[in-house]
Each structure stands twice: as C-alpha cells, then as structure tokens.
Amino acid sequence: MSAVVSGGVRPRRALAAAVLLSLGSGLVLAGPSSTGATEPVARAGAGAPAYSETKTLQRVVTKPDGSLQEFPAYTVTVTADQTTDLRGRQRIRIAWKGAQPSGGRASNPFGESGLAQEYPVVIMQCRGVEEPGKGEEQLRPETCWTASFAQRSQITRSDGEAAWRHDLDADEADKGRVSGLDPLPGADVCPTADIAGYSTRLTPFVAASGKVFPACQADQMPPEAAVGAAFPAAELAAFTDLDGRGEVQFEVRSDVENESLGCNHETACSIVVIPIVGLSCDQPSSPPTASDNACRRTGRFVPGSGNVASEGVDQAVSPSLWWAASQWKNRFTIPITFGLPPDTCDILDARAPTGFYGTELLAQAALQWSPAYCLRKDRFKFQHNQMSDEAGFTLMENGGGAAALVSSEQTQVGLDPVGYAPTAVTGFAIGYVVDRPDNAGELATLRITPRLVAKLLTQSYLGSDLGRGHPGMEGNPLSIMQDPEFVRLNPGLSQINQEVGATLLSLSNQSDIIRQLTDWVMQDRAARDFVSGEADQWGMVVNPNYEGLALPASEIPLLDDFVPETGNTCRQENPAVYFNQIAAPVTTLRKISEALLDAHPNVQTRCELDADTGLYKVGRIGRQSYGARFMLGLVSLGDVERYGLKAAALQAAPGKFVEPTESSMAAAVSLMEPGEETLPFTLDQADVRTSSKAYPGTMVVYTAARMQNLDEADAAKVAQFIRVATSEGQRPGPGNGQLPAGYLPLRRTGVTAGLYAAAQDVATAIGTQTPPASTLPDPVDLTTDGGSDGTDVPTTVPDAPAVEEPPVAEEPTEAPAPVEEDTAPVAMPATTAISSRTAGLLLPLLFLGGLLGSLAVAGTRFLVRPPRQG
C-alpha cells in the first residue's frame, strides 16, 4: 500500500505546485478585484471599476405649441465593482453620481414597497444583452425580473393615472387604452385588464423557457414571484442623495435562485440601472387631458425627504413606469457573466459523512471546501456541523465527532491528548448598518472603542424613557448614538434615539468569539475602569448589575433585573426585564448577519394586543426604515464578505482604529505566540494595544482531534483534512475547495509560517496517533495500574495514512521519529486526597486536650483546694 501511495505522492505534489504557481500569477493580475474583496478602503479607491459608463439624461416635455420644454440635464456615471464570474446571491456594489436627487424615500426600497418614491434609480436584473450575439437574447423590459406584477404592469388605471399614454418616445400602439400584450389575454386569464373607460398596460414576463406570463395579477406571474416570501426581492428603487450620489449592494440571482429569469454561465444577463428623470411627454390635447397633466408632473416630495407612510407619488417621476420608452432609453446596461456552477457532491454518494463539530467562524470556508472532499474518491465526505466551540470539543472528546473546530484551547475532560492544527485565519467583526441623516447615504467608516463595547454588553444604556427608572444609572445616555464618546468618534450621525442603539446583537451561547471580544475590551484601561464602576468623563456609569463583571468570559450573561413600572397594560401583562428584551441575544452568528442585512433589529420590545386571540403579546420590533437605519451586531468575517456587510474599525493602539483586512489580520497573526507543542497559538490583546495595524478580532480556527485512541480511519481523515485545508484550501477564490474572502490565506512562508508548520506537525501526530511526549496527559489524571504505562503508546510509527502530501511542501513532513524514552509516560502514582492522619486527628486531639485540661482545672479546684467557706 505504501508503495502505491509514494508512487503517487510526488507528481501530485508537483501538480498542485504548478496549479498554485499559475494561481499565484493570476492573483497578481487580478490584484485590484481580489484584494478589493477584503479591503474596504482599497475597494473604494484603488483601480478602475469593472464597469463604468457616463450618460447625459434629460427629460423633455412638448408644449401645446409643439415646441420642446427641456428640463435640466443630468450627466450620470454608473459604476459596478464586479461583473464577471459571478455566483448566485453574490452582491455587487453599484454606485452612481450626477443623478437627480430622489425624494419621498420609502422605508424599504426593495420590490413592491419601493414603488412609492420619486426620482429613484431603478436597478434590476434582466436576461439578455444589448447587442445579442449568436445564441444570446435581446435585453428588453419583458426579460427584466420583478417580484410583483405591480412593479411591471398598470392595471385598470383612470385617465389621471395613465401618464404613459403620452410618452414622447412611445410607439402609437403603446399609447392605446390597453397595450403591452397583443392580443390582450381574455377575461379568464386577466379579468380586470380590459375594462371600458380604464387604461391598462401590461409588461409581461418572458421566462427563460420562453413561457410568457401576462403579469396582470399575482397568479399570472412566474413561480419565483411572491410578495412577502422568505426570500426577499433583489430589485430595488434606490435613493440618490442630495449631492447626486448613491450606492447599493445588488444581489444577483443565478438560475438556481431564479429559474424563470434563468441566468447562468451559458445565458448572458445584465443588470439594468435606470435613473428616473421623469417621463417625456408628447403634444397635449387642448384642453389638456388628465393624463396629459399626469405626464407633466414633477413630484410632490422635496429632494431628500422621506415617505415612510407610503403616500401616493407622482406617477411620471415614480419607478413604476421604468419600462416606458422615454425612461427605458436612459438605462445603463451592465453586462454580467456567471461562473461555471461548481461541481457538487452527489446526493447519492454512499459514503457516510464525517462530522467536524464546532465554530461558525469556519462556516463560509467549509461551504466552499466540502465539495473538494466529496468529489474525490480518495477523500471523504467532510461536513462542518456548526455549534459552540465547547460543545464541539466535548463531542470530539467523547467520540461523537471525528474532530472539533475551535478557536482557542478548550478545557480538556478526556484523557487522550488533543492536538490543535491551525486551519484558517479569520475572525469576528462588529458589523453595522448606519444611515447618515437627511438621506445622505450609508456611513462608510464606524469607529468603536473597547469601552463602547463594554457599555453595550453591560446594558448600560437606558434604551428609552422606560429605562430611566433603572436604579444607579439614571444619568446615562439612552443609547450609543447619544453617547458623547461615540459622537466624538463618529461625528455627523443622527442622535435621534432608537432602542436598538442600546445594544450590540450578540450570541446567547458560549463562544470563543465572545471570549476574545471581551479580552480585547478588558485590555483597555478605560473599559476596565468602566466595568469596575468608574464613570467615564461624561458621567456615564456601568449598569450596577454588571459592575465588576468577571471578564474576559466566553458568555455574556443577562444580569439585569429591572422591570419598568408603566401604565401600559400590555407591559403589565407581560412583565419582563427591559434591557434583556433589547439585548435579545441569538444562538447563531448567521441570524445576526441576517438581521443586519434586513436592518431588522432583534429587539423584543413590541408589546401589543393581538386581535385574533385577545392576548397581549410581546415580540420583535419591525424592520428599520431606509434612511434611518442603525444597528450593530457581532458577525464573522466570512459573513461580512459573503453578504457585503460593513465592519467597524476597532481600536488597537489608543487612537488607532483598524478595519478587518488581510493586512491587518496578518499584522495580528505576527503578534501571536505559539502555544506549547500542539496547543493553540495565543493572541495577547496587550500586544494588539501596542500595534497600530493589527486587527483585534483576528482569530485562528483550529482543527482539534485526539492524538490517541482515535479510530484509525477517522485519524486518517482528520490528518488529510488538515493537510488539504492548509494547502489547496488556502487558495483565495470563490470556487470549490478555495478560500473565500474574509479569511487570510495560511501560507508556508510569511507571517503564517508558524501556523502552517504547526498544522503539519499536528496533522502527523493525529494521523499516526503519536502525540509528542510532552502532550501526554498529566499522569496525575491516570488511574493507577501498578506503574505500567497506562497509555498505549506505539513503539513504532504506524503506516502513514493514505493522504496526499501538501502541494507546497518541498519535502514531505516526516513523521517525527519516535523517541521511545520520551514517549513512554512517566508512571507516577495516582494522587490521593491531600490529607494526613495527624492533621486529621489534630482537631479532635486538641478538643480532647482542652477538655482534659478544663477537667483537670475543675478537678484541682474542687478536689485539691479546700471547699469554700460559705
């Protein structure tokens, strides 16, 4: 067997080396885009965008005399950061400048709810291209996706709502009372489409299959279309700031997410961006009709205003008529291509999956890695089961899982020595979504100090007036947005209070992430002083229930007990700790990412009468309105990159705020100290505090497995996993087996060299089940069995498991030659309880002595001395 393996080893390594080489050069070429993915700063400034186009857009209205009235022209530039080799649900940053400022901002710009706005920028995904080549489709409104029919069709409109019938650029046929589909579907399909005296315009949807959906009502839309579905709409009517700029993260959909739209590596698609400048109108009748007037409207909302109540808007400048010829011609078409769909694991694969249990930090990497294992016969079916580091470690120790995925040394309960192999460098972030006031767009950089986190985690903000009754902290700010410390660091933000500003949405279960976060907090003197009860310079004090909280810890307890007294019947019916309702931690990081994406705080303070049941109920508050979003949450760096979340800059050295980037993670790695043999590295936050470059949230994910008594097959799998993950698994990219953004590639050289070397050593120790001698359990833990070696240490190295060697290794890492005298555990007698007979008897003896003494004294007095004379 070994011959076969060694025969295959060398060429395969060479292959991987060649692959790496070519990838390396590819990386250099792809510099701007690939680093852009992990460096927000670079993303904004460096390199040319993947797409950029400038157009001048102008609305013109025909006067009664036939001459043209010209509105101001806008020279709009639209850019996009990525357009090729996209994956389903990937987010593309689309930005524009020079557009007409929007008005009447909707609380949610997506899908149907974005319709009630004026002068927005409509962005949607369409099948086809502008100038189709062979086998490509012509892009047209009918191939553009909307989640609801109301976004594409105008049904049974009165004349005052039929502005499109006077579109200057429209064909005569499109100005008719009913238009869009010829012939119009009958009443059996579209019962309300053709009603005398009313106008109707259909923009049918043509699916990739060629099927035409009339889009006259909800049931005449494709299967993927739904309002209020679990999967939200991607298309939106985005808002342009007063200075003419705007940007969004647009989520593209492949045919897996949207089969009817049907975009994939073979079907060319585009993103269409239409800055709405208003309909251009033809010559009006005399006197002008209602629809003539409707076509000429210029909007009811002032630029920069909001429309939270979803009031009516002027149709001619709303996003509803994006398909009208005079608007459609203003489109920017961003051609996009999808990458080859990755090969995927066969659902019928008979191999049982091998479960690795542990940290969610690895989730995004594990998603990309799994197919690289199942697709090969010489590998195994890798599965990452997400749970807390501690629970995963326990499962690994008791044999429930082949290996655990953890980020720090865990308390060992079992007797088998456990090796920790560095597997990925990533970390946590404080994700945020914060809008600047007056619809001026999203905040680009948020600075956070340890003390601000301490204030949030210790529930020291009041939340709202309800919290003012809390004893011992009456003078504290309501929320972080009103905290002078925060305002000074992040000037220019709205100080209008929201309850969610009193919390950082966090994990309810134990996690190494919480431990590192609180370790960073406690390294800061100001934060430490605050937790221990000292007021900050503005007089804010820690919530007395948290004063002196023992940190760092792997779990943030909910320690408050303040139930506000209120006249509110619902709250009286459901007495609850107010601050806990605001904090409402959740069980997974993914839920926090989703809450941030949706700007839907997990604050549970809604309290109302449920009409159906007649019961007073508490529940989650609603989503935040665009323009007034403010939310902070603890997220993984993998999720940050995957979902395009924004990550706060955390304070390293005083006054130095560091964003999570590859270089700041590398700076933190260079500060890490290796642990004792096979133990995790440690990042001392005291060192981070001396650095102006190291990102404090940098964490290493380790594959931890037993180095003894692990099933032979499992041991081989774990060793293989470590070797593959630390070699080909570290190639950055979106493909199978590659490393997604949000992870720092762990390389053989450079700052990660130590981690890499440790990983190979541990892989060998696990694979051969030969722990280094020093890691053998303290014999104290062993049962005595007569001094013979209690552990089963093999005296020869077993056959190396059949795994491929790491491609980048120049020489295969030799299994360390066993040094017998070292590996044999030093037999020591079991400990006994620390006790001694003498000591145990001392107290009773003294008692006895005392008793005897007093007896003697009494005896002397009564017997020896003559009795007292009365």
Partner 1 sequence: MNRLLSVLARCATASALAIAGVASVPAAARAATYAQIEGTGSTWSEVIVQQWIADVDASGMKVVYTGGGSTKGRKDFAQDTNDFAISEIPFQGTDEQGNADTSNGRSFAYLPIVAGGTAFTYQLKVGNELVRNLRLSGETLTKIFTNQITNWNDPAITKDNNGRAFPNLPITPVVRSDGSGTTAQLTTWMDKEYPSIWRPYFGKSGLTSYYPKKSGSRTVSQAGSDQVMNFISSTYGNGTIGYVEYSYPVNKNYPVVKVLNKGGYYVEPTQYNVAVALTKARINTSNPNDPSTYLTQILDDVYRNPDPRAYPISSYSYMVIPTASDDPRMTTAKRQTLADFMYYSLCAGQTKAGPYGYSPLPLNLVQAGFDQIAKLGKADKDVDLTNRDVRSCNNPTFDGKNLSNNKLAQIAPQPAACDKAGAGPCGTSTGTGDPSTDEGDGGTTDEGDGSGDGGGGGGTDVDTGGEVTTDAPGSVDPVTGEVVGGDTGAVSDGAAVYADPSTVLVADRAGDTRAFAWLSGLLLVTLVVLPGLYVSALRRRGPAGARS
- Of residues 224 through 253, those in contact with partner 1 by CB under 8 A are 224, 226-231
Nearest-angstrom CA–CA distance, 360 and 635: 10
351: its two tokens? 């191999």
SS3 162: coil
Structure tokens at 21: 């080489």
Helix%, strand%, coil% for the chain, nearest 5: 30, 20, 50
Q: Point out which span in 127-135, 322-330, 446-454, 560-568 binds partner 1 (CB under 8 A).
A: 560-568
For partner 1, the binding residue among 440, 576, 653, 797 (CB under 8 A) is 576
CB of 216 to partner 1, least distance (A): 15
Closest CA to 120 of 141, 108, 104, 107: 104
Q: Please give the residues from 64 up to 103 whose contact with partner 1 meets the rule CB under 8 A.
A: 88-89
Among 119, 198, 205, 356, binds partner 1 (CB under 8 A): 356
User: Which of positions 728-747 make contact with partner 1 (CB under 8 A)?
Assistant: none
The verdict on 619 binding partner 1 (CB under 8 A) reads yes
Choose between 249 and 588: whose C-beta lies nearer to partner 1. 588
CA dist 346 and 582 (Å) reads 44
Q: Which are the contacts of 835, defined by CB distance < 8 A and separation ≥ 6?
A: none
Place of tokens 């060429």: 11
CB of 800 to partner 1, least distance (A): 18
Q: Which is nearer to partner 1, 684 or 785 (CB)?
A: 785
Phi and psi at 420, nearest 5°, equal -115, 115
Based on CB atoms, which residue is closest to partner 1, 538 or 847?
847
Binding residue for partner 1, selected from 125, 354, 449, 636, defined by CB under 8 A? 354
CA nearest 602: which of 625, 631, 574, 627? Answer: 631
Determine the Cα–Cα distance for residues 635 and 491; give it in Å rounded to an integer.
24
Q: Does 869 bind partner 1 (CB under 8 A)?
A: yes
415 belongs to the binding site for partner 1 (CB under 8 A) = yes
CB 4 → partner 1: shortest distance, Å? 14
| Among the listed residues 26, 40, 303, 371, the single contact to partner 1 using CB under 8 A | 371
Site stretch for partner 1 (CB under 8 A), options 160-168, 173-181, 433-441, 557-565: 557-565
Give the number of other Cβ atoms within 10 Å of residue 181's Cβ.
20
Nearest to 551 by CA among 579, 518, 503, 580: 518
Closest among 561, 819, 523 to 691, alpha carbons compared? 523
| CB-CB neighbours of 663 under 10 Å | 18
Q: How far is the CB of 351 from partner 1 (least distance, A)?
A: 9
345 binding partner 1? (CB under 8 A): yes
CA–CA dist 159, 251 (Å, integer): 36
Pick out residues in 772-791 that bind partner 1 (CB under 8 A): 782-783
The minimum distance between CB 811 and partner 1, in angstroms, equals: 14
Instruction: Name the one range near partner 1 by CB under 8 A: 172-180, 220-228, 242-250, 448-456.
Output: 220-228
Q: Which residues of 257-272 are buried (b: 16+ CB within 10 A; e: fewer)?
A: ebbbbbbbeebbbbbb
SS3 category, 18:
helix
Q: How far is the CB of 229 from partner 1 (least distance, A)?
A: 5
Q: How many residues bind partner 1 (CB under 8 A)?
A: 116
By CB under 8 A, is residue 604 in contact with partner 1? yes
Determine if 219 is a binding residue for partner 1 (CB under 8 A). yes
Distance of alpha carbon 292 from alpha carbon 303, whole angstroms: 24
Dist. CA 797–CA 528, nearest whole Å: 50
The reply on whether position 573 binds partner 1 by CB under 8 A is yes
Find the binder of partner 1 among 242, 325, 535, 577 (CB under 8 A): 577
Minimum CB–partner distance for residue 846 and partner 1 (Å): 5
What would the x/- binding string for partner 1 be over residues 845 to 864, using CB under 8 A?
-xx-xx--xx--x---x---
Residue written as token pair 């590819």 = 26
Q: Which is nearer to partner 1, 34 or 574 (CB)?
A: 574
CA proximity to 195, closest of 178, 173, 215, 172: 178
By C-beta, is 64 or 829 nearer to partner 1? 829
Cβ atoms 447, 651 nearer than 8 A = yes
CB nearer partner 1, residue 135 or residue 867: 867
Q: Which amino acid is at 471?
A: P
**Segment contacting partner 1 (CB under 8 A): 90-98, 287-295, 574-582, 742-750?**
574-582
644 in contact with partner 1 (CB under 8 A): no
Shortest distance (Å) from residue 858 CB to partner 1? 8
| Nearest to partner 1 of 87, 693 (CB atom) | 87
Q: Which is nearer to partner 1, 374 or 758 (CB)?
A: 374
Task: List binders of partner 1 among 3-22 (CB under 8 A).
Answer: 10-12, 14-15, 17-19
Distance of alpha carbon 390 from alpha carbon 412, whole angstroms: 10
CB 154 within 8 A of CB 290: no
Binding of partner 1 by 34 (CB under 8 A): no
What is the x/- site pattern for partner 1, positions 373-402, by CB under 8 A?
-xxxx-----xxxxxx-xx---x--xxxxx
CB of 67 to partner 1, least distance (A): 51
In 3D, which of 50, 127, 32 has the Cα closest to residue 93? 50
Residue 14 C-beta: closest distance to partner 1, Å: 4
Q: Are 739 and 732 in contact (CB under 8 A)?
A: yes
Instruction: Output the CA torsion sign for 690, 694, 696, 699.
Output: negative
**CB–CB of 162/324 below 8 Å?**
no
Q: How far apart, in whole angstroms, are the C-alpha atoms of residue 793 and residue 239?
A: 68
- According to the binding rule CB under 8 A, does residue 621 interact with partner 1? no
Distance CA 660, CA 795 (A): 47
Hey, how many other C-beta atoms are within 10 angstroms of the C-beta on 801? 21
State which of residues 77, 156, 305, 508 lies at the interface with partner 1 (CB under 8 A): 508
Question: Mask 251-290, x = binds partner 1 (CB under 8 A)?
Answer: ----xxxxx-------------------------------
3-state SS assignment for residue 863: helix
Q: Angle 497-498-500 (CA atoms, 0-180°, nearest 5)?
A: 140
Q: Which of residues 694-723 bind partner 1 (CB under 8 A)?
A: 711, 713-714, 717
Q: Residue 690 or residue 831: which is nearer to partner 1 going by CB?
A: 831
Question: Smallest distance from the beta carbon of 250 to partner 1, in angstroms?
Answer: 18
By beta-carbon proximity to partner 1, the closer residue of 46 and 851 is 851
31 binds partner 1 (CB under 8 A): no
Window 113 to 142, contacts with partner 1 (CB under 8 A):
none
348 is a contact residue toward partner 1 (CB under 8 A): yes
Residue with token string 């009006």 = 284
Residue whose CB is less far from partner 1, 437 or 619: 619
Structure tokens at 185: 């579907």
171 binds partner 1 (CB under 8 A): no
Ranges within 139-158 binding partner 1 (CB under 8 A): none
In degrees, rounded to 5, the angle at the alpha carbon of residue 593 between the alpha carbons of residues 588 and 598 is: 130
Whose Cβ is closer to partner 1: residue 187's or residue 830's?
Answer: 830
- Give the whole-angstrom CA distance, residue 555 versus residue 674: 25
Q: Is 56 in the site for partner 1 (CB under 8 A)?
A: no
For residues 705 and 418, the answer to whether their CB atoms sit within 8 Å is yes
> Residue for token digits 């959909």?
253
- CB nearer to partner 1: give 137 or 259: 259
Q: Is 489 in the site for partner 1 (CB under 8 A)?
A: no
**370 sits near partner 1 (criterion: CB under 8 A):** yes
Instruction: Tell me which amino acid residue 150 is.
Output: A
Scanning the structure block, which residue is given the tokens 């008897």? 841
Taking CB under 8 A as the criterion, the residue among 266, 565, 610, 820 binding partner 1 is 610
